[in-house]
Amino acid sequence: METQVMERHLDSVDKVKVAQKRKGCFQECLGCEASTEFDFYKGTEKEKFAHAKEDSSFCCRLCLAPNHAFKMTVAEEGTKEEIISVDRPFVCCGSCSCCCFRSMDMNSGGKKIGNIEE
């Protein structure tokens, strides 16, 4: 089930561009583990319609990367209404490919709309 905000932005769009925002120069030089941010654009246009920022603790990003748990909400630009939320649980052994697969749940409007599995 789609939310109205998802329908408003994604129903008539063939392509969405996702751009990761760069960290500040100071953070880049020191290798600080800042939370990741993304901007979302419709098609080939430069019309920004949404923004997302990783919600996770600094300690988790620093000590458990790249396997740390995080939540991220893709929110409409301006209104901050949720379009999609992503929940990725912690995976303890990232290099073992026999049993430790990463996965993410995708939700919209409080209802699960899908998942991504490695």
89 cis-preceded (ω within 30 degrees of 0): no
Contact 43, 15 (CB under 8 A): yes
pLDDT confidence of 69, banded at 50, 70, 90? confident
17-32 residue pLDDT tens: 888 887 766 666 666 6
What pTM does this model have? 0.74
Q: Which of 18, 1, 34 is nearest to 74 (CA)?
A: 18
